[in-house]
Amino acid sequence: MQEVSQRRATPLGFQPPAIGDEEIAAVVETLRSGWLTTGPRAAELERRMSEYLEAEHVIAVASGTAALHLSLLALGVGPGDEVITTPITWPATANVIVHAGATPVFADVRESDLNIDPARVAELVNARTKAILPVHLAGQPADLDPILALGAKHGLSVVEDAAHAAESAYRGHKVGGLSDATCFSLYATKNIAAGEGGLVSTDRDDVAAAIRDLRLMRRGDGSLYDIAVPGYKANLSDVLAAIALVQLDKVEAHGEIRRRQFALYNDAVGDLDGIEPLARDDRDTHAYHLYVVRIDEEGAGATRDAYQRALAAEGIGTSVHFLPVHRLSWYRERFPEQPPLPVAERAGAEILSLPLSPAHSDEDIGDAIAALRRVHAQFTG
Ligand SMILES: Cc1ncc(COP(=O)(O)O)c(C=O)c1O
């Protein structure tokens, strides 16, 4: 790979989807088949994902948000309950707790990988706690053993937000069948991207059956139009399932490209004072979903926001995963009594996600690295 010393001629997108002729052909074939709504392709996606995730059941739904929401409802989370989750996540993780009528309680994250800290979770469990909702940030699994142990000890459900973790394994076990429900996203930037869509995987027959009822609705036993459970119309279209099936065929090849891009960044970032990638645990399989660095103003000579602006001026798209949810306006206003979450708050101001995508070439990543080096030299020089 050759590093360029010049600014790119064209901007580099942060995380463009890697869609090829195969996905386009699959969509055309689906449209020709007449199945626009949930049909044989959604069913095939469920079957193939249950093999891939090593889980008994997979239920295809309209989004990762719906996967989380229906999982909480299926597990009986409702008004009066508390659900403990991480503040370093996409707001949907907390929003669905509110949508279920329950209260989100934020536990601080670990300094190393910014995943929820099981020790902080243990301090927050009380008589109102109903569930724990960890997120596998960037593709590094959260530390599930102590979380599952807390769940078992106190009779709590555990729902995983695995939106970043399609390829992750925790201590040698595929993420997907380890807790009561594991929720994946098929959003445009995800490792298996259909544009929109989501999946719930579970080994529990009762949870799978409840989510199937909530996904559409459960028909009653009486007349044709009778219903027994009013659902959320959160089913997945076959058009999107067809794209996801092709993306699943490519998941290993795309994963190899992501892994290589991680290695290129790791080599480069090692030399840059004040810039550190999030830690990975070698006992686990990382999904290489996001390459997140922390920018320490003192060592790196400028804030994360200044780096983001300077990289944008270089034509390099970046993103932030994530601002702490408890600091977002709605959460601040609705839950003003927030406990301090010092690790999450500091990290929220320091994290920056660099371009990563199977649609990018090694040269593209080389351009992002060269721009990062130039910006770093300006700020520290
Ligand atoms: C951590 C996390 N949780 C949940 C979601 C929600 O998924 P969706 O956009 O498919 O609703 C996302 C991203 O989109 C996410 O990054």
Atom of ligand 1 nearest to the CA of 67: 11
Q: Which of 197, 161, 156, 151 is nearest to 181 (CA)?
A: 161
Q: Give the model's pLDDT for residue 225.
A: 80
Q: Which of 226, 76, 37, 68 is nearest to 218 (CA)?
A: 226
Pocket test for ligand 1, best of 61, 187, 192, 356 (most atoms within 8 A of CB): 187
Q: Name the residue with the closest Cα to ligand 1, atom 8.
A: 64
Say how many Å lie between the CA of residue 162 and the centre of ligand 1: 9
Q: Name the residue with the closest Cα to ligand 1, atom 14.
A: 187
Q: Give the model's pLDDT for residue 348.
A: 97
Q: Once rounded to an integer, what is the mean pLDDT over residues 306-320?
A: 97
How much is the mean pLDDT over the chain? 96
Assess whether pLDDT exceeds 80 at residue 92. yes
Task: Provide the percentage of residues in the chain whose pLDDT is more than 70.
Answer: 98
Pocket test for ligand 1, best of 72, 115, 185 (most atoms within 8 A of CB): 185
Give me the helices (H) in the chain, please: 21-33, 40-52, 64-74, 92-99, 118-124, 144-154, 205-215, 238-249, 251-269, 297-300, 304-313, 329-334, 342-350, 362-380
The DSSP string of 181-231 is: EEEEE-BTTSSS--BS-EEEEES-HHHHHHHHHHHS-EE-SSSTT-EEE--
Check 130, 153, 174, 190 and give the catalytic one.
190
Q: Give the model's pLDDT for residue 1.
A: 41
Q: Give the model's pLDDT for residue 337.
A: 85
Q: What are phi and psi of 353, to 5 degrees?
A: -100, 130
Q: Name the residue with the closest Cα to ligand 1, atom 10.
A: 64
What gap in Å lies between CA 107 and CA 103, rounded to an integer? 13
Say how many Å lie between the CA of residue 77 and the centre of ligand 1: 20
Atom of ligand 1 nearest to the CA of 196: 10
Say how many Å lie between the CA of residue 264 and the centre of ligand 1: 26
Please answer whether residues 227 and 217 qualify as being in contact, where contact means their C-beta atoms are separated by less than 8 angstroms.
Answer: yes
Assess whether pLDDT exceeds 60 at residue 4. no
Q: Once rounded to an integer, what is the mean pLDDT over residues 316-326?
A: 97
Q: Give the model's pLDDT for residue 62.
A: 98
Say how many Å lie between the CA of residue 225 and the centre of ligand 1: 34
What gap in Å lies between CA 211 and CA 182, rounded to an integer? 12
Confidence of residue 3 (pLDDT cuts 50, 70, 90): very low
Q: Which of 115, 172, 203, 164 is nearest to 288 (CA)?
A: 164
User: Which residues contact ligand 1 via a Cβ below 6 A?
Assistant: 63-65, 89-90, 92-93, 135, 161, 163-164, 185, 187, 198
Domains in the chain, CATH or no CATH each:
21-249 (3.40.640.10), 251-380 (3.90.1150.10)
Confidence of residue 5 (pLDDT cuts 50, 70, 90): low
Say how many Å lie between the CA of residue 188 and the centre of ligand 1: 10
Catalytic residue flag (residue 153): no
Q: Once rounded to an integer, what is the mean pLDDT over residues 97-116?
A: 98
In the DSSP assignment, the letter for residue 135 is B
Q: Once rounded to an integer, what is the mean pLDDT over residues 247-256?
A: 98
Q: Is the peptide bond before 322 cis (omega within 30 degrees of 0)?
A: yes
Q: Give the model's pLDDT for residue 323.
A: 97
pLDDT 10s digits, 62-84: 999 999 999 999 999 999 999 99
Say how many Å lie between the CA of residue 351 and the centre of ligand 1: 18
Q: Give the model's pLDDT for residue 224.
A: 75
Q: Name the residue with the closest Cα to ligand 1, atom 7.
A: 64
Number of residues written out for the chain? 381
Q: Once rounded to an integer, what is the mean pLDDT over residues 326-338?
A: 92
In the DSSP assignment, the letter for residue 299 is H
Assess whether pLDDT exceeds 60 at residue 11. yes
pLDDT 10s digits, 197-248: 999 999 999 999 999 999 997 777 777 788 888 899 999 999 999 999 999 9
C-alpha dihedral, 60 to 63 to 64 to 69, nearest 10° = -90
pLDDT 10s digits, 34-66: 999 999 999 999 999 999 999 999 999 999 999
Q: Once rounded to an integer, what is the mean pLDDT over residues 91-106?
A: 98
Q: How far is CA 113 from CA 88, 196, 303, in A?
A: 11, 27, 20
0.85 surpassed by pTM: yes
pLDDT 10s digits, 361-380: 999 999 999 999 999 999 99
Q: Once rounded to an integer, what is the mean pLDDT over residues 245-270?
A: 97
Q: Give the model's pLDDT for residue 2.
A: 42
Pocket test for ligand 1, best of 15, 65, 133, 183 (most atoms within 8 A of CB): 65
